[in-house]
Chains A and B, each alone.
Chain A
Amino acid sequence: MPAANQSVRAVFGALLALALAAHPALAAPSGPPVRIGSTLALTGPLAATGLVHKIVGEIYVEQLNRKNGLLGRPVEWVLKDDQSRPDLARTLYEQLVTVDKVDLIMGPYATANILSAMGVAQRYNKVLIHHTFGTPSLAKYEMQFPAGGLAGDPDNTIPRLVFDALAASAMPPKSVAVVTSKFPSVHFISLGAREAAKKRGLREVAFLEWDFGNRDFGPIAARLKDATPDFVWVGGLGLEGNLLIDAMRKIDYMPPLHFHLFPAPGPLLKAPGGENALAATTFEEHPPFTDNPIAVEFIRLYHERGAKAGLPDTSVENQSAISFSSWQTLEAAVTGAKSIDDKAIAQWLRKNPVDAIVGRLRWDGPFNYIYGTDLYKVKQNQQGKWVVIWPKEFAASGAHLVTP
């Protein structure tokens, strides 16, 4: 009897729904919110990446509140604009801690601002999870936790990664040129690259440093063309790599292989001349990274929100991934320590690794940094897409370093 079956099913369904709703694990979070405060560069020169972090944070907090919040309580993110300025970041973090009296703080974007936030965190004994700190040697606070996958000695690990990838390729380069900005978080890593090249017996044909406000890359491109390196290490930040490529194309020159340290990934993909460019990353949108269902869900949401926010490139890559990982770290620590007390969280993190979408994050080294190894991989721009090519375990299926 279909009618009777239907009504039985309806009643059964209703009972099931009731039972589920009553289950504490699936209840909506309730009680006073856990307030998490941070600043981001929403305006000013760093705003492009700041927006990425804003979108990621919003996605994460929303997902948290859709499930169980933090410790059953809803999460509220108090976000302020530090206008890309460290002095503003410092004062705003003080405001968050002493006036808004947030429960927890998250790190801002970029090295100088994180350093300002770290000072405030230290003064008020707050734990600080951050993602984009580029000068680990300056992090001397025991309750700061980098969630970006970078090692404590990136001037060792990143060049080693890159040169290993090159050495394993079909035609390893014999000569290298290192060109770099003098921006603090980039410069020392580039110096590490010089050291690494020397140790591996590569011939350095050019070493050029520019002042970070530089607009004219013509002469630098000309000097590179003159030096004819097999491989160019570009220690550029944001726009600079693009400007250099532009300048090289204008004089009809493209080095066979080039690696960019901290590029703007989207623009580098699309730039004519950006083909086969190499960069470092912790995450790309292909297996094995997308074997993680959490990552897949995040990718979907990020595409959606990114498009809504008007981002020209909505694919998840390094910045968005490490941002997501920092929130994962926070959630894991709070849940693991069963508390929002900063000391408890810090203690838990030091003893427990977190499996974030960028990989396994640990903090059991000096000042919570791991030395000698990191979560970075090398990716290459192949036909308009970023594809990881090294280490082999993380390479996209069948992908390998392409040399022109």
Chain B
Amino acid sequence: MALPSLTLLGQSLLSGIFIGALYGLLGLGLSLSWGMLRQINLAHFALAFLGAYLTYQLAGAGMDPLATLAVIVPCFFALGALMHWLLARFSVSAFNSLLVTFGLTAIIEALIQWIWTADFRRMESAYGEVKFRVGALYVALPELLTLAMALALSLAVWAWLRHTYTGKAMRAIAEDAPIAAAFGVNVRRLSLLLSGLSAAFAGVAGLALALSYTLAPGQIYAWLGVVFAAVMLGGLGNPLGPLVAGIVIGVSEALTMAFTTPAWAPLVSFSLLIVVLLARPGRI
């Protein structure tokens, strides 16, 4: 096991950060709706992939991939609000929401396969070709965009929750909804807002997926485990949590792959996770 060169280390570190950013972007909406609304939205992944496929389709029709957000974000926002309305209307508990959203996942997955078949799809875009050189290291534009989006959204939500009235009202709802309502917070409207946002974030994650990855409907489940881990590790409802935790996981795996047989990577990242859980008094 020869010591890797600095370039290799640096490149691997970057790779880990970027994939961690994607974990974070995928996990943001999930963390918010789980932490604040007590709804475990499995369908978040299916939504993200739906967004990715829609981006792929629209880009294929000539639209600039980033511009597709203008279409996707509002549509997904509406979808998310609708989902929440459905769950609230039936007073679905946290665990039951797992089942409902699993059903939704199956439906969305079937829809994707029906429209786009199970074959792999890769979006070709101008962004995919661009890369920057920083010394001996390379940074590809799609990855950079993913990191930028993840950072921007996480920080924006964090600022919103901390500094605006609606944000604080949202945190109040998360802690104790009836009391918040007693204080004049419009729980219903804010919950719909948050659900819509979560789904919209799924759409943005979809753009990131389409920019950097090859798509297949079966891939929906490939991200489930690791993103759930990032969400839980980062603390439910903590907007910076999934990003930080995602990067920790991504970097630990990437560095393992740089030093030794890549097949050991999940062992390192998840053992690290276990150690962190056992040792630290709180969460990240």
Contact = CB atoms under 8 A, between A and B. Distances in A.
Contact of B122 (A48, A208, A209, A270): A270
Nearest to B14: A218
Nearest to B255: A219
A291 interface: no
B181 interface: no
Q: Which one of B116, B120, B128 has the highest number of Cβ atoms from chain A below 10 Å of its Cβ?
A: B120
Contacts of A43: 110, 113, 118
Interface in B196-238: 212-214, 216-219, 222-223, 226
B214 A243 contact: yes
A246 B262 contact: no
Contact of B15 (A44, A222, A264): A222
Contact of B128 (A44, A222, A272, A310): A272
B117 A312 contact: yes
A269 B211 CA distance: 19
Contact of A218 (B11, B129, B261, B266): B11
B241 interface: no
A226 B262 contact: no
Contact of A239 (B19, B120, B254): B120
B271 to A, nearest CB: 14
Interface in A38-54: 43-48, 50-51
Interface residues of A, number: 46
Contact of A50 (B116, B118, B226): B118
Contact of B4 (A45, A208, A226, A238): A226
Nearest to A218: B15
Contacts of A51: 117-119
Given A45-B218, A226-B7, A216 B119 contact: no
B119 A252 contact: no
B interface, over-half SS: helix
Contacts of A46: 218
B263 A266 contact: no
Contacts of B95: none
What band does the interface of chain B fall in when counting residues whose beta carbon is under 8 Å from A?
35 or more
B131 interface: yes
A311 B116 CA distance: 8
B250 interface: yes
B117 A48 contact: yes
A220 interface: yes
B191 to A, nearest CB: 33
A208 B124 contact: no
A272 B261 CA distance: 27
B4 A47 contact: no
Contact of B118 (A48, A209, A223, A249): A48
A242 B12 contact: no
B18 interface: yes
Nearest to B129: A272
A226 B11 CA distance: 11
Contact of B8 (A45, A182, A226, A243): A226
Given A44-B218, A51-B118, A218-B18, A208 B138 contact: no
A206 to B, nearest CB: 10
Contacts of B250: 216
A226 B137 CA distance: 12
Given A209-B262, A216-B15, A223 B4 contact: yes
Contacts of A214: 262, 265
Contact of A211 (B129, B143, B266): B266
B218 A242 contact: no
A136 interface: no
B262 A208 contact: yes
Contact of B117 (A210, A215, A272, A309): A309
Interface in B254-276: 254-255, 257-258, 261-263, 265-266
A210 B261 CA distance: 7
A272 B129 CA distance: 9
Nearest to B250: A216
A267 B116 CA distance: 14
Nearest to A313: B119
Interface in A142-174: none
6 contacts: A209-B262, A218-B12, A226-B4, A251-B138, A251-B140, A266-B119
Q: 7 tightest A-B contacts by CB?
A: A218-B15, A45-B218, A47-B118, A219-B257, A250-B140, A219-B12, A222-B11
Interface of A: 43-48, 50-51, 84, 182, 208-211, 213-216, 218-220, 222-223, 225-226, 238-239, 242-243, 246-247, 249-252, 264, 266-267, 270-272, 309-313
Given A216-B16, A218-B14, 18 more contacts: A45-B219, A46-B218, A48-B118, A51-B119, A208-B262, A211-B262, A213-B222, A215-B222, A216-B19, A225-B11, A242-B120, A242-B122, A252-B131, A252-B138, A267-B122, A272-B124, A272-B128, A312-B117
